[in-house]
Amino acid sequence: INKGLKFIPPCQSHFYYPQPMAEIIEQEYNRLYAENCKNLTNYTFLTNDTRAKKFFSEMKNLLQQLYTRPLSKILKANARYIYKMIKSMKGKLRKANIAVGQTDKSKLFFFIDTQEYEEKIRNYMSKTNAYQEITSGICRLEDDLHSVLALLDYLLKRNRIIKEQYKQMYPNLKTLELAHIYFNLKVHKPEMSVRPILASINAPAR
């Protein structure tokens, strides 16, 4: 935690993922391949061009080298220590029933009893009546996506938008998620109330 919000645990592919290294390499290659194919297409380059094929081949070889290169003793020991520390911390927090989050208007973290935290959220929801909790267990993401795609198709067929605009507004199905809120704790307030943060960047816009 004292390393800050942007800290990334080192050597995650060696300690954090259960799948074989070959599978991790293939997944990463497929992700980069798809992104680069999209960029090439946007600039009217053919993905089966000789230069493109050579680029993708060298990219896969580079990934193979980077992921399979032996770790130095110091790096491996440090990465294993951080991995065990994070794993231990997660286990202790679960057992103690403690919630961890980022404080409002700062880069600090807060630790709070889970029940107390949930009570603050319920009080906010009840007081403002600004958001709706999904209690049915049915996710509305599919309905929202269908509405957005139907609207885009309608606009394209009637020449209200061009094909390029259609592609830019088309939701990314790999990162798609339902818009939701989470709450930061206002530790600078006497009553330590919560502030809602709306996460909707990957949600289909309606």
Predicted confidence at residue 30, as pLDDT, reads 92
What is the sign of the dihedral through the CA atoms of 21, 23, 28 and 33? positive
Is the separation of the CB atoms in 32 and 60 below 8 Å? no
Q: Report the alpha-carbon distance of residue 70 to residue 26 in Å, rounded.
A: 19
Rounded to two decimals, what is the model's pTM?
0.52
Pairing of strands 180-185, 194-199: antiparallel
Quick one: tokens of 6?
Answer: 């942007």
Residues of the chain with pLDDT under 50: none
Domain definitions of the chain by residue range: 1-96, 99-206
Predicted confidence at residue 5, as pLDDT, reads 56
Q: Report the alpha-carbon distance of residue 21 to residue 105 in Å, rounded.
A: 40
Predicted confidence at residue 74, as pLDDT, reads 92
Amino acid at 167: K
Predicted confidence at residue 206, as pLDDT, reads 56
Predicted confidence at residue 186, as pLDDT, reads 87
Predicted confidence at residue 161, as pLDDT, reads 93
Q: Find where tokens 């961890």 sit.
A: 100
